[in-house]
Amino acid sequence: MNTVKKLILPSVLLLLFLIPSLYQDELSLEIQAEFFLQILNVARYVIGSCLWLTAGWLVIRILNLVVWPILIEKRLG
């Protein structure tokens, strides 16, 4: 149960940043103002960076909580 609790936050944040990244192109087609298009371009980089950081955090948590205890700690004793 403790493992699931530690994986919830990175998973939720990953979904939180993934959803806007999927709809950015549709949103940029609907908005025609130059100022808002520039804001969307900056937001694309910010969301993309946060998406990569959150995905890395989730992978590290999975390795730390699942792979390390099962594969390595049992072999080391």
pLDDT digits (tens, 9 = 90+) for 57-67: 999 999 998 88
The confidence band for 56, taking pLDDT boundaries of 50, 70 and 90, is: very high
| Alpha helix stretches (DSSP H) within 1-77 | 2-30, 34-62, 74-76
Contact call for residues 17 and 47 (beta carbons, < 8 A): yes
Q: 72: pLDDT confidence band, cut at 50, 70 and 90? A: confident
Give CA–CA dist 73/38, Å, rounded.
50
pLDDT band at residue 35 using 50, 70 and 90 as cut-offs: confident
Q: What is the pTM of this model?
A: 0.74
Please report the pLDDT score of residue 52 as a whole number: 95
Rounded to the nearest 10 degrees, the angle between the axes of helix 34-62 and helix 2-30 is 160
